[in-house]
Amino acid sequence: MVHSKKLYITTPIYYVNDAPHIGHLYTTLACDMIARFMRLNGIDVKFVTGTDAHGQKVEKAALAAGKSPQEFVDEVSLNFRNLATMMQFTHDDFIQTTQIRHIKAAQHLWQQLIKNDEIYLGAYSGWYAIRDEAYYQESELIDGKAPTGADVEWVTEPSYFFRLSKWQDKLLEFYNKNPDFIAPETRRNEVMRFVEGGLHDLSVSRTSFKWGIPVPNDPDHVMYVWLDALTNYITALGYPDQETSDFKDFWANSLHVVGKDILRFHAVYWPAFLMAADLPPPQRIFAHGWWTKDGEKISKSLGNTINPVHLVETYGRDAVRYFLLREVPFGNDGDFTDAALITRLNSDLANSYGNLVQRVLSFIAKTCGGVVPSPDKLVAADNALLSQASDLLPLLETEINKQALHKVVEHIWKLIAEANRYVDEQKPWSLKTTDQARMGTVLYVLADCIRQIAILTQPIVPEASARILDQLAVPSDQRTFAHLNAQLTPQISLPTPEGVFPRFTP
């Protein structure tokens, strides 16, 4: 992906059986950070999210709410759209699987699979977990439940099957040839062990309920919700049109970001479906970990779900973004506590970043009448700081291409710490009486360094970054990574500085 000029990035499409919570926020946030970074780096990005409307789980939730499935999904889907709007996510499309474009795409894929003799009619007898929308082998059950803890029920019904078993070797060959297809590495190993263990043909239609996409030419069946849902990734690119649509340019550069719980569907079923329909698999699948709350699994029954709206109202969008992106290495599980968020907010945002900006800009305002001083001759310490700033982008590119989002944040905050150290060492306030020219140079170096930092933090804390760049009078068309080396114009007047990261006091 490093040299590619296009990126197609997707979130899973969320089940509309319930209100959005922090888990949904997290996956989309991670994608949003990547999408913003890539766009700023000159890459043509298509970022898609959406909702998964079909299946038994959603049908059951609609019934419980006393609504028709269509009415129910439109209502709940709106909560997910509103969350994305509230978070100011930068997706280019929001797909919902009840849309005509998607029904067409899923039915077309089905017909390709029929044409290639990859699907046959049979009968399913076995275990099904509605919560996971997944089939389980008897041998997988633990104490009569799915390995995820979900309840299972015995299902006997006519069903179409996908010949998954015959794809075992081809999948293994594909993983071996494409070592970067599944990340992180430990997850890749788990998937490979699973496939090596043998694959069973997969039931891909249901007859015991109606809330799904009708199987072409056999209206008694609706498609298995995962076949339907996974297809969304190509629907959004214009499939079945592969020639004149976005499919042509974007599919080869596709990145699916998913939670670890749904990796198997993405890394096993999805490439098998695609290859069976003569389509290439996506380029990469990254599985992130799960958040717990105060050490406990987040669930409605425990009453410890975290409401994203409440979180943002309490701490602000940027603080929530920063915490989720920084606190846990992307790929690992993490624990959410308000105390940890407040610590990050006060130390990394208010004390480190906020303080750097505040002390430099208010010093320029007070001592230089708000005018950026012209630099004099640069000394070693100045060049050291400036070159740390200008060396940063290649490092960040390497990390973002591995989806090491926390590393991107860490690298930038290391520079912030360096800049703070430079202020302490250079003591511009003492230079005011001893050497005004040198003071001007120090302030110029700092202002330019802050400009570069604020350009780089845009994918992480977009609102604060914009405010800092405004305070440095950086024109809005000079804020991409291509402008990192542009340098701040000396002698420009800056607006009155204002604090950007207030400390949080509970």
For binding to ligand MSP (CB under 6 A), which residues are involved? 12-15, 23-24, 26-27, 52, 229-230, 232, 258-259, 261-262, 290-291, 298
Amino acid occupying residue 387: S
Q: Least distance to ligand MSP from the beta carbon of 26, Å?
A: 5
Write down the residue that tokens 């015995």 correspond to: 154
Choose between 54 and 451: whose C-beta lies nearer to ligand MSP: 54
Burial class (CB in 10 A: 0-12, 13-18, 19+), 216: middle
Q: Least distance to ligand MSP from the beta carbon of 320, Å?
A: 14
Choose between 232 and 346: whose C-beta lies nearer to ligand MSP: 232
Q: Least distance to ligand MSP from the beta carbon of 262, Å?
A: 5
Q: What is the DSSP string of 277-320?
A: TT-PPPSEEEEE--EEETTEE--TTTT----HHHHHHHH-HHHH
**Which tokens sit at 468?**
């800092």
d(Cα 207, Cα 117) in Å, to the nearest integer?
Answer: 21
Q: Least distance to ligand MSP from the beta carbon of 232, Å?
A: 6
Q: Least distance to ligand MSP from the beta carbon of 368, Å?
A: 47
Choose between 18 and 180: whose C-beta lies nearer to ligand MSP: 18
Q: Least distance to ligand MSP from the beta carbon of 302, Å?
A: 12
**Could you tell me whether strands 44-52 and 6-15 are parallel, antiparallel, or unpaired per DSSP bridges?**
parallel
The 3-state DSSP class for residue 46 equals strand
Choose between 229 and 494: whose C-beta lies nearer to ligand MSP: 229
* Contacts of residue 206, Cβ cutoff 8 Å, sequence gap at least 6: 56, 157, 159, 212, 221, 222, 223, 224
Q: Least distance to ligand MSP from the beta carbon of 58, Å?
A: 9
Choose between 262 and 415: whose C-beta lies nearer to ligand MSP: 262
d(Cα 30, Cα 11) in Å, to the nearest integer?
Answer: 9
Choose between 229 and 408: whose C-beta lies nearer to ligand MSP: 229
Choose between 27 and 56: whose C-beta lies nearer to ligand MSP: 27
Choose between 291 and 444: whose C-beta lies nearer to ligand MSP: 291
How long, in residues, is the chain?
506
- Cβ atoms of 59 and 211 within 8 Å: the answer is yes
Phi/psi of residue 37, each to 5°? -60, -50
Choose between 13 and 356: whose C-beta lies nearer to ligand MSP: 13
Burial class (CB in 10 A: 0-12, 13-18, 19+), 37: buried
Of all residues in this chain, which one has the CB nearest to ligand MSP in the complex? 259
- Cβ atoms of 123 and 158 within 8 Å: the answer is yes
Sign (positive/negative) of CA torsion 470, 476, 480, 486? negative
- Cβ atoms of 292 and 328 within 8 Å: the answer is no
**Could you tell me whether strands 93-96 and 296-297 are parallel, antiparallel, or unpaired per DSSP bridges?**
unpaired
Q: What distance, in Å, lies between the first and last C-alpha atoms of the chain?
A: 43
Choose between 207 and 305: whose C-beta lies nearer to ligand MSP: 305
Q: Least distance to ligand MSP from the beta carbon of 291, Å?
A: 4
- Cβ atoms of 11 and 257 within 8 Å: the answer is yes
Q: Least distance to ligand MSP from the beta carbon of 258, Å?
A: 5
Choose between 191 and 443: whose C-beta lies nearer to ligand MSP: 191
Q: Least distance to ligand MSP from the beta carbon of 126, Å?
A: 21
Choose between 31 and 472: whose C-beta lies nearer to ligand MSP: 31
- Cβ atoms of 411 and 457 within 8 Å: the answer is no
Which residues are 159's β-sheet partners? 122
3-class DSSP string for 69-129: HHHHHHHHHHHHHHHHHHCCCCCCEEEECCCHHHHHHHHHHHHHHHHCCCEEEEEEEEEEE
Q: Least distance to ligand MSP from the beta carbon of 298, Å?
A: 4
**Which tokens sit at 14?**
């969320």
Choose between 65 and 386: whose C-beta lies nearer to ligand MSP: 65
Q: Least distance to ligand MSP from the beta carbon of 376, Å?
A: 52
Q: Least distance to ligand MSP from the beta carbon of 359, Å?
A: 37
